[in-house]
Chains A and B, each alone.
Chain A
Amino acid sequence: MSSRPVGHGHAGGMLGPVRDEEDEPRPNTRPKRNFRRLIPYFRPYRTRVTWTIVLMLVVTAAGLAGPALAQVAIDDGIQQGSIPALVTIVGIFVVIGLIGWIAGYWQSYLSSWVGERVLLDLRRQLFRHMMRLELGHHERTPTGRSVSRLTSDIEAINQLVVEGATSLVINGLTLIGVIIILLAYDWKLALAAFAIFPILALGTWWFRVRATAAYRLTRERVASVLTVLQENLSGIRVVQAHGRQEEARRRFREANADYRSANMSTITVSGIYFPGVELLAALGTALILWYGGNRVLNSDLSVGVMVAFIGYLSSFFDPIQQLSQLYNTFQSAMAALEKIFGVLETDPRISDRTEAVDLPDIAGRVRLEHVSFGYGREYVIRDVTLDIEPGSTVALVGATGAGKSTLAKLIARLYDPDEGVVSIDGIDLRDVREESLRSEMGIVPQEGHLFSGTIADNVRFAHPLATDDDVRRALDAVGALEFVDALPDGMHTDVQERGARLSAGQRQLICFARALVPDPRLIILDEATSSIDIGTERRIEEALDRLLVGRTAVVIAHRLSTIRRADRILVVDDGRIAEQGSHDELMRAGGQYAGLYADWEQAAGAAHE
């Protein structure tokens, strides 16, 4: 048992496909409701939608006019032997064709416009909502899955809205037109043609039941492919460094194959359905031939009517086939809509209360009162009470995993505490409008994430209006100006995705500068200088000495030089504040901090050995 090889077949599985969807909300599974929810998105574009429909009518009419005109040309032109009449009719024919062309162009353009525009709105709304969702949601949801909501699901709907809507209207209109014409010719014969409808309805019902499940599975599997891909590409350097490409490939192939087989089942379902519809069409034709033929033979029906009927038959069955084809797209889009509305219905747990206020000019007194917090079931922070004087610098020290970063995140309100209150200048953070809180706060998080774009873009991330001079000043303050200026385009150099073009320390410096630009009252530094060399760090600290005057700062660091500068040191141990005081006080107390200090001292001594 103890010699069991590892790395295979565990839950989830490294780079493995995501099959679990339980954290996806499943609020509704009825396509009709999802579809109805899509309608309001069209409302702002009512005028264009109306025009599109009018143009569709024109296009359909122009299409249907062709055969009729040909009929007139034969009867009134050729059979009468009148060339002028023939030429006139052909002229009309061409003119109608021209109208069809122009109307067709506008109809096609407008319907693309409306469709794409609606999707743009939906996509923007979805993204805005995702940005608002609490961090916990994003920690539970793989990036790839969220991305698939914004891309491949939107594309699935795109097909319905852009291509489907046109097809729906034109074929629907054609079908209705033909039904009326057929009924007008001979209602009994028409009813015979309609006899296939009940069977069609039954088949469609079967298709719906089967297809809904199949398409939903396909959407999930696409998300899995994206998730595996996203994770693998993010970690490609590790994979290559360990020579695990084959394994990664195997896992990806699994997700890819799952997707294929889900897709295959949609193809099987529609592969049975559509030929079935065509078969029904053939049966309908046979029925009419038989019934109508016999009536003609009994002189109950004129040959002319029968000929016309047969002529219109294909205009009757073609739209039915097209419409059933559309149903395919419809199913796929509904599955995508379900996923998208699932995200939209997820409640952003941290959101402004309606009575939330703007933070007034603050002094920067931070208080935590009996705060407890946990990411999951277990508390990571337990009943912490602390008070940070305005303008003072507080250092958090303690073992990794003790809860230092978590405390910092609570102060920044990246999470709300489960119990207790976090306040600034006596105002509960939950009563403050988020935006006004953030504008007072500068955070340098442990994982310095940069966005692709220039260095300047990244530095002014929190304050897009900052001038180039502001950016320079911030870069200078953290000692980054020198290396930035040495880059080919200075601060307008593209850093590439996640800052790939910079060294880790340089990335930290940029993150540092980013936090300084909005001129925050409260600064939180979470191991902001861990990858920075001593010389640069020292320059930063000197700069900070100036910058921090009058500002409140919470600093997490492992280097003694940094910690010693703090007015007060808090020792965090297993989610509690174990000790607090100045360096000298804590040394005198002879507790945990004194122990930590001894380790430092030994380490420093080791080099002098």
Chain B
Amino acid sequence: MAALVLMACTITLPYLTRRVIDDVLNGQQQDALLPLVIAVIVVGVVRAIFALMRRIMAGYVSLAVEFDLRDMVFAHLQRLSFGYFDRMPVGQLMSRATSDLQTVRFFLGYGLIFLFMHVFTLVFVTVVLLLINVPLTILALLMGPALALVAVRSSKRTHPVLVDVQQKEADVTQTAEESIAGIRVVKAFGQEVAQADRFSVRASAEFSRSMDAARLQSFYQSLMGFLPVVGVSVVIAVGGVLTINGVLTLGEFVQFYLYLSLLVFPFRSIGMLIGNAQRAAASGQRVFEILDTEPEIVEPAVPVPLPADGGGAVHIEGVTFGYDPDRPVLRDINLDIPAGRVVAIIGATGSGKSTITQLIPRFYDPQHGRVLLDGVDVRDAALDDVRRAVGMVGQEPFLFSDTVRANIAFGRPEATDEEVFLAARRAQADSFIRALPEGYDTVVGERGFTLSGGQRQRIAIARAFLVDPRVLVLDEATASVDASTEREISRALQQVMEGRTTIIIAHRLSTISLADEIVLVDDGRIADRGTHDDLFARSPLYREIHDQGLARPDELVARDA
């Protein structure tokens, strides 16, 4: 609406000045000068007011769109499954949620309005031109189809290049993100310069692709600037001849010419705006790609509740799973873990130990078979229920930039201080936390105090303890903890494990010995299971592991000799 008023004002202003020339200065209505000048001022003021409204409104709308889209993207990302994030680098996603969205906004905020205004000018002026002389107008507007043709062709050719430019930009973002997140490794190997070269390669790739785009856009934009010149010259030539032959009066011709020249600027800008629109479309496509990705893991419409009194029984039935369906990592796994049992999973690196545990909280869905938690297929239960029922302490604990307290309470923000302290004490973390500069209020993580690896692991353990899950999974959770501390944690574990199912993945005997039962995984299959003594008696594989790693130090000495 505001834009319409604005357009009207913008067109009225030249009209008023013409009136001054035609009526006043030619001496016909000398006293009309003052009213006309006042009219110019009034129209100017009205225009300014509407322009202000237009700008603020367009700005607001475009910002709101940007905000909403970014919010939607983020919310959608929260719903996407682990598999998606395995494939999609953080930097790529960051680039889409910022740079691409900004491109969309710039177009919506400025481009679209101007495009609209220019199109409006076109229509309006065309009508005026038609009123003056129909054949000449048709002749002049012949450049219209030509322009449209060029515009269509231009967007066909530029669009893929622009999509690619945005992709290259995302590659740059990704390399930047990765290098900065991995700066320790870069420095440890003295690869600062080499890494800068790698970044350079990416940045240069973006540059050269941008130049491809610039070449195309420069060509089409300047062409679109030139076509109106052709139109105008045809009008001057034909109109001139008509005038000379007396078909057209000189006044009509001049008027026609002046109005036609009003069209030159919009035509030029439309070329540029189409360029912007293409950029926005390319970026929008990348944003919508995220939004269109269906989460692989979806909740059932009517979830089955987990039995309230369930003790955390886990049944894995005939599960075959591969991160890539063509390459199974787990093959026909059958595993029954009764409620309250403590099970240790051991096996070679990469044999699939972690993968088995990742299926229980439904981070991934198996290709065949099913996983039951307290008798309920995890695919039938609400995701939140399942995830809350399973507490995972991963191999590489991730801490957020927040206080130690909030990190421990991450899974249960409503926990009291007492509960937090208790969980920390059980994870043998309380004393070192209290020694931190601000104790439990010390900010850790990326923006805070850097903890040593073993300290991070203990905070992650406390985090899992606090959630009080039915199934507790400790995936090499004490690998970076020294033997003495580990013994303390193990002792505490014996209390914590009461009344819940515990799955331990470990390589150290001290940890494995906590288990009632040991499951031996080999190359994605369950090779054997039983108590320590069973396995020791029966499984050569287990004996080998035992002999190599679990041997007492003096035996080692003896063997070395």
Contacts and interface: CB of A to CB of B under 8 A. Distances in A.
Interface in A529-554: 530-538
Contact of A536 (B40, B59, B349): B349
B454 interface: yes
A77 B207 CA distance: 50
B98 A138 contact: no
Contact of B513 (A78, A113, A462, A603): A603
Interface in A19-44: none
A272 interface: yes
B233 A597 contact: no
B244 A152 contact: no
Interface residues of A, number: 199
B446 interface: yes
A399 B482 contact: yes
A405 interface: yes
Contacts of B199: 124, 127
Interface in B41-72: 41, 43-45, 47-49, 51-52, 55-56, 59-60, 63-64, 66-67, 70-71
A242 B467 contact: yes
Contacts of A130: 180
B558 interface: no
Interface in B383-436: 383-384, 387-388, 390, 392, 394-396, 398, 400-403, 405-407, 409-411, 413-418, 420, 432
Nearest to B454: A400
Q: Is the interface of A mostly helix, strand, loop or mixed?
A: helix
Nearest to B432: A401
Interface stretch (A245-253, A334-342, A363-371): A245-253
Contacts of B392: 241
Given A6-B420, A105-B219, A289-B37, A86 B237 contact: yes
B11 interface: no
Given A14-B410, A100-B225, A233-B90, A90 B417 contact: no
Contacts, number: 594
A358 interface: no
A307 B37 CA distance: 16
A439 B420 CA distance: 46
A12 B401 contact: yes
B192 A101 contact: no
Interface string A510-526: 00001000100000000
A137 B244 CA distance: 78
B178 interface: yes
A15 B403 CA distance: 11
Contact of A405 (B40, B229, B453, B532): B453
A264 B180 contact: no
Nearest to A117: B207
A78 B74 contact: no
Contacts of B13: 282, 285
Contact of B51 (A147, A274, A514, A558): A274
Contacts of B254: 74
Interface string A134-164: 0100111011101110111001000000000
B191 A264 contact: no
A279 B55 CA distance: 14
A8 interface: yes
B277 interface: no
B310 interface: no
Interface string A157-191: 00000000000000000000000000000000000
A532 B480 CA distance: 12
B233 A143 contact: no
A445 B188 CA distance: 8
B11 to A, nearest CB: 12
B182 A86 contact: no
Contacts of B63: 260, 263-264, 267
Contacts of B37: 286, 289-290, 293
A501 B86 contact: yes
Interface string B289-316: 0000000000000000000000000000
Best-surrounded residue of B185, B403, B407 (most CB of chain A within 10 A): B185
Contacts of B484: 399, 595-596, 599
A353 interface: no
B77 A233 contact: yes
Interface size class of B (residues with CB under 8 A): 35 or more
A184 to B, nearest CB: 20
A200 interface: no
B36 interface: yes
Contacts of A508: 349
A596 B483 contact: yes
A281 B509 CA distance: 84
Most buried by A among B99, B177, B414, B486: B177
A462 B176 CA distance: 18
A535 B544 contact: yes
Contacts of A123: 172, 203
Contacts of A303: 21, 25-26
A438 B190 contact: yes
Contacts of A435: 190, 193
Nearest to B179: A131
A527 B455 CA distance: 14
A229 interface: yes
A205 B210 CA distance: 35
B94 A229 contact: yes
Nearest to B352: A503
Contact of B253 (A13, A78, A375): A78
B220 to A, nearest CB: 9
Contact of A276 (B34, B48, B182, B451): B48
A282 B43 contact: yes
Given A256-B70, A289-B37, A496 B485 contact: no
A3 interface: yes
A591 interface: no
Given A233-B94, A604-B509, A14 B189 contact: no
Interface string A1-16: 1111111101111111
Contacts of A606: 509-510, 513
Nearest to B415: A6
A222 B454 CA distance: 34
Given A497-B89, A535-B348, A375 B450 contact: yes
Contacts of A531: 349, 395, 476, 479, 507
Interface stretch (B120-128, B134-142, B144-152, B548-556): B548-556
A303 B99 CA distance: 54
A424 B229 CA distance: 75
Residue with the greatest number of chain B CB neighbours at <10 A, chosen from A13, A67, A498, A533: A533
A503 B405 contact: no
Contact of B178 (A8, A128, A443, A451): A451
Contacts of B552: 601, 604-605
A511 to B, nearest CB: 8
A10 B403 contact: yes
B217 interface: yes
A68 interface: no
A608 B224 CA distance: 86
Given A2-B416, A238-B398, A500 B86 contact: yes
Contacts of A596: 482-484
Contact of B189 (A7, A86, A443): A443
B416 A5 contact: yes
A289 B39 CA distance: 11
Given A10-B406, A297-B25, 17 more contacts: A77-B240, A101-B223, A105-B223, A117-B207, A256-B70, A267-B109, A447-B184, A505-B349, A527-B480, A530-B479, A531-B349, A558-B483, A560-B483, A561-B551, A601-B552, A604-B551, A604-B552
19 contacts: A7-B413, A101-B229, A120-B206, A231-B445, A231-B446, A232-B74, A233-B90, A241-B387, A245-B75, A253-B74, A260-B66, A290-B33, A376-B437, A449-B181, A497-B174, A500-B86, A533-B507, A599-B487, A606-B510
Which 8 interchain pairs have the tightest Cβ spacing? A282-B44, A438-B190, A400-B454, A534-B549, A603-B510, A505-B349, A7-B413, A97-B229
